[in-house]
Structure 1
Amino acid sequence: MPEKENQYTLCKEERLYAEKRIEALFAGGSSFIAYPLRVVYITRECNLEDGVPTVSILTSVSKKRFKRAVKRNRVKRLIREAYRLNKNEFIEFAAQSGKSFDIAFLYLKSELPTYSEIEKAVLKTINTLNGKNQLESKSENNS
């Protein structure tokens, strides 16, 4: 569990930046829509070194939707902020499932969002992932 001061940070280990992992995410990942976000995710086994499940995120906003980098960066900041403030729920979910997650948030709308829109989508992501994980575990138990 993170320390009290570090609880709401978004460090490099929590960002998805390795090219191989990003390629694997988009090649073999599952996706769903939590409008205005499209969420692509893939599960992996926990690292043997720490044994602690982790969640790594990637944010992306299409240049086709926002020509100006200022607006694209604004949307990415909003997504990262919503994740950062609610990341404890993602970490608890990963700990319950015993797996690590790579998650990509892709913004779909052509208008600038409000923070509340993005936060609702991020919270919906947690609920949807939780539901899908429960379905997977039930199907594994029945096999």
Structure 2
Amino acid sequence: MNKPHLHALRKHEILRKKQLISLLFSSGIGVRGDFLKMVYADLRQESRSFPGIPAILFAVSKKTVPSAVRRNRIKRMMREAYRIERSSVIRSSSDEQDGAEAKRLCIVFLFTGRKKTLPELQAFREEIRRLMQGMRLS
């Protein structure tokens, strides 16, 4: 049987519910970087969700990047950068939730860059690392 990849992004880690997404945008904390914006919040955990594992969403506006090919490329690069850099977030969120009521960290990464050239994967990694280290979980 195949062993799961260390940095794989599982299906249960993707934020999909419209209610949670709208609640996250209305009550979440936003942090702006050079070309990414991160919105995050601790939201009430559902009965079937996985504790200690953040729910994640990647978004690129059609207005910001009109080409679907480029939007998909940017989302792939954001996912890859997050996969590599997420181990620090999972550890810190699970350490802080030991005695707290059941909540789940939800994160949205929005691409806000307006330059014609796309940043490299290393730039995405550094930006995501910097944004995630600046999170203040309460």
Shift of 1:47: 5.3
**51 and 9 in structure 1: CA distance in 2 versus 1, 3 angstrom threshold:** closer
The partner residue of 1:106 within 87, 110, 117 is: 110
AA in 2 matched with 1:127: Q
Match of 1:120 among 88, 109, 126: 126
Match of 1:20 in 2: 19
Flag the 1:62–1:49 CA change in 2: closer, same or farther, 3 A: closer
| Greater helix content | 1
- Determine the C-alpha separation between the residues in 2 that align with 1:92 and 1:35: 25
Partner of 1:78 in structure 2?
A: 77
| Secondary structure, aligned partner of 2:86 | helix
Q: Distance in 2 between matches of 1:55 and 1:61?
A: 20
Structure 2 residue ranges without an equivalent (≥5): 98-102
Secondary structure (helix, strand or coil) at the match of 1:31 reads strand
The more displaced of 77-86 and 27-36 is 27-36
Unaligned 5+ residue runs, structure 1? 137-143
Does the 8 Å CA contact 2:28/2:39 hold for their aligned counterparts?
A: yes
Counterpart residue number, 1:88: 87
1:89 CA drift (Å): 1.3
Give distance in 1, aligned partners of 2:50 and 2:76.
Answer: 30
Q: Distance in 2 between matches of 1:102 and 1:109?
A: 22
1:57 aligns with 2:56: yes
Task: For residues 33-59 of structure 1, give each alpha carbon's deviation from its aligned partner in whole angstroms, at most 9, with x where no partner exists.
Answer: 122111111112555667732201111
Tell me: higher relative CO, structure 1 or 2? Use CA pairs within 8 A at least 6 residues apart.
2
Percentage of pairs with the same residue: 29
2:14 maps to a residue whose letter is R
Q: How high is the TM-score relative to the length of structure 2?
A: 0.84
Distance 1:51 1:65, change over 3 A: closer
Provide the aligned C-alpha RMSD in A: 1.9
Describe the SS at the equivalent of 1:44.
strand
